[in-house]
Chain A
Amino acid sequence: MTAALRRVAETLLVLLVLSVLTFLLTSLAPGDPAEEILRRGGIQPTAESVAVLRGELGLDQPLFSQYLQWTLGVLRGDFGRSNVDRAPVAAEILSRVPATLRLAGTASLIAVGLAVLVSVRAALRPRALDSRIAKVATVAIAAVPPYISGILLISVFAIGLRALPTGGDGSPGAVILPALTLGLAGTATLLRLLRADLAAAARQPFVKLAVAKGLTARRTIVVHMLRVAAPGAITAAGVVLTELLAGAVIVETLFAWPGVGQLAVAAIRQRDIPMVQAYVLLTALATVLVLTLADLCVSAADPRARR
């Protein structure tokens, strides 16, 4: 129990430090948001209008009191209003979360599924042609930046075959291409770890015993070896999932996927500081949560980790 409490305290400390950094980094970034806003509206701003807008946005307050106000707001779940269209930031982000989770969820299913399939196949028949091709292909595709592989997928499946939409989430099939783009990027990391872990598991005496007892290869791998490899794989999956959440920024923009990442890109482009701050803080929170969750899963799956 004390371990859990310590974990919570650590998480809170991390979040506090993150909030300070997030606030400072985005607030101290060069450029004046008030002037940017007025200029984007097609107006070459006067000193007066910049001053008035700075006052309205609270940018004329001392930095510390800006931070204090922001933090108090965040604790109440209020991330302020967008500098661009004055919409409440928290509501904007919340409305985007389901789309991002759907994309990241499908992508991690693809990443985990492909990695397990290919690595188990490779463990069974390492020298078979198909497992070699699959291995090389997965790594090669995953090594291409998501932006490029996304464009390739669009060219083939959307423009060439006209099988899937190029973007948006108007139809059920729309998630396939962005999820594939994102998922392939995660596959390589997982695949490498899983292969190494399976190889290590194969050297364990009890696996040799299981084989000697006449267990089928499939059963040996799925029941015994995967179980041994699981802790490493779960940790890796956690890391990959956080990478997917971060990587969603590019893929969501490319596929016009209405998730949090696309919102963040637009916010950065328009210097919408309250939005960027909320995005960075929430992404950090999500990362901390996912990694904590992965640790909990590991200790559930592996009794040794609980000691």
Chain B
Amino acid sequence: MNRSRRGLRFPVLMRTCGGIRPRAMAVLGAVLLAALVACGGRGDAGQEAGRLTLAAPRDLAAGPEDPYFTHRTLRVWEPLVTLDDRMRPAPALATGWEHSDGGRRWTFTLRGGVRFSDGTPLTAEAVVVNIERFRRIAPRPSAFFSLDAGMEAAYGKLTGVRAEGGKVVFILAEPVADLPARLADFYSMIQAPSAFKADGDFAGKPVGTGPYTLVSWSKDRQVELAANPGYWGGKPAFDKIVVKTIPDANARVAALRAGEVAGLIDKGALLPGQVAAVAADGRFRITRSPSVLTHYLTFNASRKPFADPRLREAVDLAIDRESIADKLLAGTATPGSPFLSPIFGALSDPGVRTAHDPARARELVGAAGRPAEPVSILISSSETGQFPYADIAEVLRAGLEEVGLPARVNVVEATKAVMEAGDYDIFLSAYSVPNGDPDYLFRRFLRSDAAWNHDRNLGYRSDVFDRLIDRAAATGAVAERRELYHEVQRLLAADRPMIPLAYQDNPVAMSTSVTGLAQNPLYLVDLAKLAPSR
């Protein structure tokens, strides 16, 4: 009885027969392991002769229902205007542009000798077809860059676009000083008219003018590109590029370390916490380049306590931006001071400096009076997976408590609803400017009539600010515009409706056997510049 309780109750059976021998198990295990190793035997598939395999967190092709079908990074299509690494409009398919009639008429000159990958030439008429298609199908969701309703964000009040003597002319009802910047990249994608059906959907594969063409694509698995032999800029170094989709951040790094892919590209390729480990591995190089993404703190100034500017200043002084950028964001970010990050070049005002001064902050809290309730720091649960927002919010909380402002952290899914209900004091989130135009940021976020400002209870009303950004948007003179934006940034540094916390870089990784990795502020890696290192 006492013995049989431990096993099954048939001692006779156990004595008479051994059953499966222990050795058999061991042999089976060894065979399995050998089989595993044997069916492997693969070398580095990441890079073979003329062929390169990369990985990205998302699918960079989205299918014929998408207004763009492929992401700009794949270099299948090209825009009229692109952005340089200072976010200034730069020539792409348009070699130059000029405006007349006070900014109501813009004429774009096209690059000569360019052909689409189907062999047809790039003409002004083809450009018009593309712009009119965009206006017809908006609003249209996209996996990459949605087309807004009305398209005013892109083209201003556009009354017509036409081909005149081989050039493309945009005619606007009201002047727009920065049309080329607004058009940059996605809004001025140009493909052969034959690529589209009558309803604006794709008829087949995208037909662009870029250095690569789309060979095949399987949704959420991989995109296969081939070099375009007729590319106007010369044939790229790799004949074939495969971009795999690997959504999980750990799995992406694993694929890199296993040699399955030679590099990780695109927005969020590496999480801030992964950078150090990958950089320590001599087989890879990490390229950190400044991006359009900036982490901001937004204040609810439509209610106590932050209706009081002294307390907003106290928060500004209580934040240790250095340690947040260096430690929590693992050096992938730099501390924020002017509202526009240095990526805006001369438009960013270097004169605006922020300080970390807890003593002064404590005085301000003392003068303004300590709030009765702890202030709430709101973060979105969907963003905590991308950035260590939970940790940053805790550091902010500690910093605020140190200067006499008790705080609590509030992590929610639907931050929009919470903000609209006005039930928050500080909101931590990151924003980008997809076309490099500061007006985009100021007008949509902070103008007195901006939907964001209004619906989210920012409570920012400044006639001076409104006048300044309106003047800046209408002026075509570079120096004047710069001066106006510097003034805007000094005003924002004093008023503090939102304060920049850190300017985020986007780290990408590449095997040392590949050279030419460059990334622009919009996370675009130029695939055509990649080449095997000799």
Contacts and interface: CB of A to CB of B under 8 A. Distances in A.
Contact of A157 (B22, B36, B245, B259): B36
Nearest to A53: B139
A263 B245 CA distance: 12
A164 B7 contact: no
B20 A124 contact: yes
Chain A facing B: main interface SS: helix
B423 interface: no
B368 interface: no
Contacts, number: 211
Nearest to B292: A42
A121 interface: yes
A126 B8 contact: yes
Contact of A176 (B13, B36, B142, B186): B36
B142 A85 contact: yes
Contacts of B65: 81-82, 85-87
B16 interface: yes
Contact of B141 (A41, A51, A126, A265): A41
Contacts of A123: 7-8
Chain B interface size band reads 35 or more
Interface string A150-164: 010011011101111
A84 B143 contact: yes
A170 B213 CA distance: 22
Contacts of B7: 123, 126-127
A258 B16 contact: no
Contact of B218 (A134, A258, A265): A258
A218 B254 contact: no
Interface string A66-106: 00000000000000011111110000100100000000000
Interface in B227-264: 244-248, 250-251, 254-255, 257-260
A192 interface: no
A92 B6 CA distance: 52
A129 interface: yes
A121 B20 contact: yes
Given A121-B19, A162-B259, A253-B247, A38 B146 contact: yes
Given A46-B149, A53-B141, 17 more contacts: A42-B434, A43-B145, A43-B148, A43-B434, A44-B452, A45-B451, A84-B141, A120-B20, A121-B25, A130-B26, A154-B251, A161-B37, A164-B36, A166-B251, A173-B39, A202-B8, A217-B17
7 closest residue pairs by CB, A with B: A41-B146, A30-B414, A126-B7, A124-B19, A42-B434, A163-B40, A49-B149
Interface of A: 29-32, 35, 37-38, 40-49, 51-53, 56, 81-87, 92, 95, 120-121, 123-130, 134, 151, 154-155, 157-159, 161-169, 172-173, 176, 198-199, 202-203, 207-208, 211-212, 216-218, 220, 253-256, 258, 262-263, 265-266, 269
15 contacts: A30-B416, A38-B146, A42-B186, A43-B145, A45-B451, A46-B149, A84-B62, A85-B63, A86-B65, A123-B8, A125-B19, A130-B25, A162-B258, A166-B258, A262-B247
